[in-house]
Amino acid sequence: MKKKVLIPTKLDGIAREKLLQHGGYEVVQDESGPLAELAAAHPDTHALIVRSEKVGPEVMDLLPKLKAIVRAGAGYNTIDTKYARQRGVDVMNTPGANANAVAEEVAGFMLADARHLVAADPSMREGKWEKKKFMGCEISHKTMGVVGLGYIGQTLVKRLRGFEMEVLGYDPILSREKARELGVELVELEELFRRSDYISLHVPENEQTRGMVGDGLIPLMKQGATIINCARAGVMDLESLKRHKAEKGLRFLNDVYAKDEAGLKPEAEVADLLAPHLGASTREANLTAARRAAEQLIELDDKSISTYVVNRDVPAGLDEAFGDLAYTLARLARSLVGPGSQLKMLETSFYGSLKPFDRWLLMPMLAALSEEFDRSMDYAMALEYLKSMGVEYENRETDDSKGFVSSITLDLSAARDAGTLRQVSVRGTVAEGNIMVSRIDDFDKLYFDPRGRNVFFAYEDRPGVLGRIAASLAEGGINIDDVRNPHDSKGKHSIAILKVSQPAPQALVAKIGEEIGAYVACYAEL
């Protein structure tokens, strides 16, 4: 019996064509009515292929035979992935299919705004000749800042080469070698906002990025600079933009919203150009996403290839806490080498019962190292992602005779500048359901739970240093909740690990580090 595929959206016919060519599918493509009505009319649906349609429990419950939902595009926030997993439904997306379309839209926004093309057209149609009013500017030789250098960010950089722009980039994982290959100067986020004439956002919306473009960054911008948001609405703090826009003479070009639907948008109060989420709305992107959606569904059904499944379960036999451990160790290591440093190499060791899950455990590590990494990627995609970022990866063979039962060692190498390489090694395990860090570099038997607010100082051992650290934190109004202060194996160096009551400003941590001659001084909220 053929499997029924329901396509309740305007999607390129290549998806229907490929599924019918396969011979094992019946395809119903109908965009005329509400999804719930279509679902009720086709309860024998095996798979859904959707664009931005909302697929929640109310739709899935109408489809008792549903086994897969394919999002023909990258974002899948309109699909209740957790409920789908409870129902045994695989959810897939097609990442990268719209990269070129979004990159070209950014360039189109820049040109249209710089030359006032949108306003000039109706003026001409009214018989006016307002040449002086529409005096524009050129984007060539200006400075472009790209926040997030994944699929879309890298494609945008390539498209802008013809304009001979100076391109600055911010990405926590992209290597300097890869950046040089792209012609990008990697800088800190604050420097990017200070120096750029144009800033294009290409980061996902999550706990780390929500509201990131706000009072900490917008006041740093050049007079008359332009922000382009074709990423996610939530990364912009619109209230902050309203407060600073007029004074700085800023421009704001926007294509993304909290909800993709008709109605007044808060962005309209502050944006100079608005588009109805057209980033992926090209015939070519639609065709690519449609083709890949059909191909991925066929591969899932015929070969059980789950590369693009985004709601993958924790593997059977693995305690979920070890996924949290892998994520936390990577975030800790990233903090210790310096958030602004460029990653060069990642090395991992998985001991005891974790060996069979080494490939799966790499995913939460990469999610911790890069906000752009999608945890739905499989191992092959993860390796390709690291390669695209210019980061080497080695998973080392382990010797269980060392006694590191069910533990993870993660080594991270990063370049702080052209001539300085910083390396850090951390090891951890899970004890009675709690994450424990057992070693940092040569400081062994630490056994502390890293979750929460932590300050780290590593320094040459001598009397009185811990007291100076505590006094300086107290002067900054920061209370200490817990302390670890062991020596290394040779007794020459000490590490102070302090759990603190509130976030410690980086300026204060750096000042304390300088006063005590620390070679590591950082704050990490894990």
User: Domain check: are 232 and 292 in the same one?
Assistant: no
Per-residue pLDDT at 419 exceeds 70:
no
User: Domain check: are 64 and 106 in the same one?
Assistant: no
User: Domain check: are 105 and 250 in the same one?
Assistant: yes
Q: What is the CATH number of the domain that holds 374?
A: 3.30.70.260
414 domain residue, yes or no: yes
- Note the pLDDT of residue 108: 97
User: Domain check: are 243 and 120 in the same one?
Assistant: yes
User: Domain check: are 79 and 119 in the same one?
Assistant: no
User: Domain check: are 53 and 202 in the same one?
Assistant: no
Residue type, 278: L
Q: Is 236 helix (H, G, I), strand (E, B) or coil?
A: strand
- Note the pLDDT of residue 298: 95
CA distances from 96 to 76, 100, 248, 368, 384 (A): 13, 8, 35, 21, 13
The set of residues, in sequence order, having a beta carbon less than 8 Å from that of 248 and lying 6+ positions away, is: 218, 219, 221, 222, 223, 224, 225
Which element (helix H / strand E) includes 385? helix 379-388
Residue 340 burial (CB < 10 Å; 0-12/13-18/19+)?
A: middle
Weakest-pLDDT range from 25-29, 390-394, 429-433? 429-433
User: Domain check: are 326 and 368 in the same one?
Assistant: yes
435 domain residue, yes or no: yes
User: Domain check: are 266 and 126 in the same one?
Assistant: yes
User: Domain check: are 32 and 47 in the same one?
Assistant: yes
Number of structural domains in the chain = 3
Q: Is the dihedral of CA 386, 364, 335, 351 positive or negative?
A: negative
Of 53, 23, 19, nearest in space to 36 by CA? 53
CB 59 within 8 A of CB 35: yes
User: Domain check: are 289 and 218 in the same one?
Assistant: no
**Can you tell me which residue has the tokens 């080392």?**
396
506 domain residue, yes or no: yes
- What range defines the domain where residue 451 resides? 321-525
314 domain residue, yes or no: no
CA distances from 380 to 74, 306, 384 (A): 18, 11, 6
Query: What does the pLDDT average to over 403-417?
Result: 86
316 domain residue, yes or no: no
395 domain residue, yes or no: yes
CB 252 within 8 A of CB 235: no
pLDDT tens digit string along 188-247? 999 999 999 999 999 888 777 889 999 999 999 999 999 999 999 999 999 999 999 999
379 domain residue, yes or no: yes
Q: What is the CATH number of the domain that holds 26?
A: 3.40.50.720
308 domain residue, yes or no: no
User: Domain check: are 352 and 464 in the same one?
Assistant: yes
User: Domain check: are 453 and 361 in the same one?
Assistant: yes
- Note the pLDDT of residue 526: 87
